[in-house]
Amino acid sequence: MSAATVTAPPVKARGDEGRIGVRANLRHIGALVRRNALQIKQDPESMFDALLMPVIFILLFVYVFGGAIAGKGNQQEYVQYLVPGMMAMMGMNIAMAVGSGVNDDFRKGVMDRFRTMPIARSSVLIAKIVVEIGRMLIATAILLGMGFLLGLEIRGSFLEFLGAIVLSTVFGAALMWIFVLLGLAMKSPQSVQGVAMLVLMPLQFGSSIFAPTQSMPGWLEGFTKVNPLSNLADAARALMNGQGAIAQPTLVTLGWAVAITAVTMPLAVAKFRKKT
């Protein structure tokens, strides 16, 4: 048989996830988490949003709007209302940075280099989410620290307090997949930020995060009832203050988190594979 008639065996693409076991996948995620953490260490300015945003927002809302909303001299009660709601807000603001970061990594060619390596495609994105969850927890810790300085009290049990943090973290992680998908779909970090703000502003201010919804117009109050941020804020508030309905808003929040992750995570991984 001549050399011209010999057909070469098909070459499998590198990084075929079907050949990568769970243990190897976890090792890849761990290595990529370390890479992302070292990147933050080399660029500490990337932590400014997580470190400063909670301080600025809580001071702004307590001392500028707290008197008008809760009444003059009732700022401490407003702190009890505001801080659990702002825990819901932390995840959304950190999630916006995830989308911009993924988009910027593609523009710099970092993601193209990862896609030539024999690693699971999902591990790259999961590692990004893990590091951003760490940043969100730091932001939440600073928010709570400022809250305690301003008179915040944990009126529920310690387990309920931890439950509020875990619930906010789970929902924030789900939101990150939306912004990862957005970062993969948009052409520049600026466009990601622009679209993200169009999503963030109505959800944040059309919710029960900053003020009770009873005084809102009927159409807006109806929107707040289906807004997942309102359910998360109400659940965290009930857990931390030890009063109010807990089960219903908690289950609704978890349902939203599962649904968002189940839809957007596979779409983000598929987009990551195909993006050029």
* pLDDT 10s digits, 16-34: 444 667 777 788 888 888 8
Among 98-102, 126-130, 140-144, 272-276, the least confident range? 272-276
**So what's the pLDDT on residue 6?**
42
Instruction: Find, among 23, 196, 202, 187, the residue nearest to 106 by Cα.
Output: 187
User: Which amino acid would we find at residue 198?
Assistant: L
**Predicted pLDDT at 7:** 44
For residue 67, give every residue at least 6 positions away whose Cβ sits within 8 Å of its Cβ, in sequence order, or none.
73, 74, 75
pLDDT, mean over the chain: 84
Contact between 59 and 75 (Cβ < 8 Å):
no
Give the pLDDT score at 144: 95
Nearest to 181 by CA among 254, 103, 258: 103
In tens, the pLDDT along 180-203 reads 999 888 888 888 888 888 888 888
Q: Helices (DSSP H) in the chain: which residue ranges?
A: 22-42, 48-60, 66-70, 75-108, 110-115, 121-149, 158-185, 189-205, 218-226, 228-241, 247-274
Q: Which residue has the higher pLDDT, 8 or 233?
A: 233
Residue type, 64: V
More confident: 114 or 59: 59
Q: Is the pLDDT of residue 13 over 60?
A: no
pLDDT of 71 reads 67
| pLDDT, tens only, 143-161 | 999 999 998 999 889 999 9
pLDDT recorded at residue 9: 42
Q: Do the Cβ atoms of 62 and 150 come closer than 8 Å?
A: yes
pLDDT of residue 193: 84
For the chain, the structural domain boundaries read 21-274
pLDDT at 82: 92
pLDDT at 66: 77
* Integer Cα distance of 116 and 123 in angstroms: 13
Lowest-pLDDT range of 88-92, 109-113, 147-151, 173-177? 109-113
**pLDDT tops 90 at residue 124:** no
Predicted TM-score (pTM) of this structure: 0.84
